[in-house]
Amino acid sequence: MADIASSNRAEISASSENVSELINESVSVRVSPNSYLAGSFLATFFSGLLVYLHHDLAALIVFLSGWIVIPLAFWRDRIVFDGQRLIRTGPLPAIWSKINRSEHVLDLDDVEQVETQALRALKRGGSVFYRYRTTIAGGSVNMVVASGGESYRRMVKSLLPCLNESLLDNRSIELRDYMSEPKETLLKAEFAKVPSTEVLEQTIQDFETLRNEKKSKPDFGDEDIEKADYLRTLANELRLSGYLLQALEVFRRALFLNPRDGWLLFEFARCLHSFAGAEKNSRIEKRALAVMRLAEKRAGNDTSLLERLGESYFQYGDWERASLVFKRTIAKAETSFRSLRGMAEISLREGKIAHVIHHFSSANRIAEIPSLRRWTQAETDYFSKLNDDEDYLDMEVSRVNLLDSLERAKRTALRISLLGLPAILIGVVGDVSLVSNIGWAVSATSLVIWTGIIISRNILSERIPVDATE
């Protein structure tokens, strides 16, 4: 055990040194190109409209702006982490921050929440290509970084270890602990003699029935636990890289060596649930929830594991079970910030505003860092205002309803603009000016409305200040 402890200390020391090196190098990642692509598309469309109206010079200026100025602005638009703060660079963010008096710098001490979404971009066999989108929020500043290469991994490995764990959601914690370079992970799996995805596709039925779950080693020692820990790390690295079948196989080997480890069962259940979602297999999803229940039984007094279990239940839509786990955690440790925050979110889903206020107020009293105290106090004030002031409640309800209406209108406007494109093509090819005129008018009007709706939604997304009715 001494060797294991010294090995762990060495790994932690090496990891800290790596993080320090990354921070000293000032890590950066390019922002998501979606808004820039939309700008180039609009510039292309309206340059075509100007050509149709015989304004060739204006059309040339608009076209060059769309395909030279906008791409250059995107190339310079990055999020940089220098060890103390996140900085949004580039000309357009600087101009926008001056127009609406917003910030484009976020200090680490001001970070209030970090949430990561995983999107299945491509599925092939038992492997899934994931795109991760991490939002770092603090006050009125939101920084969004999206995966797409080594720069995202470097940002995650340098930024997330610097933040208090209470700020991170489940997936962000997993990325912090287990994200690795996919090729290196596959080499480690090959060294561990893990079969390829193609071979393991024949074993999918085993995961539906979990018929091998009770075939565990009758007794296990320190060497088995150490090996199980290594396999657990490898399995999580494979899972986050999208090699789900191989990850499940490695988890199964680790559980054979250490079947009573609650954390191992929990992570295996999350992997199984991800695989069920990719395969759209309800039977495997039920098995994943069953394994999660087993992890809950094995958790004992481990409040950290119980918190993570509760958040997973909430993420999977089982609010009743999440509430039971959060309450159990609070009973064992009254200082469980994550559980109180989870109870506040569940109460909000159930429409119990008074309970939301109570839980956020309790979380505010035990928050470890100033940014969390500021955030929970702001949430307490906001929901207290909703509960006590009917005028403010009506204003907020109207704002949210308007946001929903604008979202529907945005999708409708985009569809209508696309419907006008065939009319434009038919009119130009067939030299039917009436048809092309109608197409240009419909598409141009719809795209103008679509752009206006996007700007309006960005303005209305901010909550009304609590002192507005005063």
Q: Could you give the 3-state DSSP secondary structure of residue 137?
A: strand
Lowest mean pLDDT among 47-61, 209-223, 274-288, 337-351: 209-223
Look at residue 134 in the predicted model and tell me its pLDDT: 93
User: How far, CA to CA in Å, does 152 sit from each of 72, 82, 423, 428?
Assistant: 21, 15, 42, 45
Look at residue 332 in the predicted model and tell me its pLDDT: 86
Closest by CA to 379, choosing from 330, 404, 350, 343, is 343
What stretches of 31-147 adopt beta strand conformation (E)?
78-81, 85-88, 105-107, 113-124, 127-138, 141-146
- The span from the CA of 400 to the CA of 30, in Å, is 31
What percent of the chain clears pLDDT 90, i.e. is strictly above it?
Answer: 56
Q: What is the mean pLDDT of residues 2-25?
A: 45
12 has pLDDT over 80: no
Q: Could you give the 3-state DSSP secondary structure of residue 26?
A: coil
Sheet containing strand 127-138, strands side by side: 113-124, 127-138, 141-146
DSSP letter assigned to residue 469: T
pTM for this model (two decimals): 0.85
- The span from the CA of 121 to the CA of 132, in Å, is 10
Look at residue 203 in the predicted model and tell me its pLDDT: 63
Closest by CA to 312, choosing from 299, 462, 181, 404, is 299
pLDDT band for 463, please (50, 70, 90 cuts).
confident
Closest by CA to 242, choosing from 267, 264, 265, 271, is 271
Burial class (CB in 10 A: 0-12, 13-18, 19+), 40: buried
Look at residue 212 in the predicted model and tell me its pLDDT: 47
Q: Please give the structure tokens belonging to residue 243.
A: 């090699």
298 has pLDDT over 70: yes
Look at residue 412 in the predicted model and tell me its pLDDT: 95
**Cβ atoms of 134 and 145 closer than 8 Å:** yes
> pLDDT tens, 65-100?
999 999 999 998 999 998 889 998 888 888 877 776
Mean pLDDT of the chain: 86
Look at residue 221 in the predicted model and tell me its pLDDT: 65
Look at residue 120 in the predicted model and tell me its pLDDT: 80
Closest by CA to 250, choosing from 275, 262, 276, 232, is 232
How many helices, marked H, and strands, marked E, lie in the chain?
A: 21, 7
- The span from the CA of 260 to the CA of 276, in Å, is 23
Q: Could you give the 3-state DSSP secondary structure of residue 267?
A: helix
DSSP letter assigned to residue 90: S
Three-state SS for 280-341 is: CCHHHHHHHHHHHHHHHHHCCCCHHHHHHHHHHHHHCCCHHHHHHHHHHHHHHCCCCHHHHH
Q: Please give the structure tokens belonging to residue 27.
A: 């890590």
pLDDT band for 220, please (50, 70, 90 cuts).
low
Q: What is the mean pLDDT of residues 94-117?
A: 85
Closest by CA to 409, choosing from 374, 453, 367, is 453
Q: Could you give the 3-state DSSP secondary structure of residue 55?
A: coil
How remote is the C-alpha of 368 from its chain's centroid?
23
242 has pLDDT over 60: yes
pLDDT band for 119, please (50, 70, 90 cuts).
confident
| Residue type present at position 296 | E
Look at residue 335 in the predicted model and tell me its pLDDT: 81
CB contact set of 212 (below 8 Å; sequence gap of 6+):
206, 252
**Cβ atoms of 189 and 246 closer than 8 Å:** yes
Sheet containing strand 27-30, strands side by side: 27-30, 78-81, 85-88, 105-107
Look at residue 197 in the predicted model and tell me its pLDDT: 74
Look at residue 210 in the predicted model and tell me its pLDDT: 55
Q: What is the mean pLDDT of residues 367-392?
A: 93
Greater pLDDT, 442 or 148: 442
DSSP letter assigned to residue 53: T
User: How far, CA to CA in Å, does 393 sit from each of 390, 408, 464?
Assistant: 5, 23, 10
Look at residue 20 in the predicted model and tell me its pLDDT: 45
Q: Please give the structure tokens belonging to residue 25.
A: 């190098």
**What are the beta bridge partners of residue 86?**
81, 106
- The span from the CA of 284 to the CA of 297, in Å, is 20
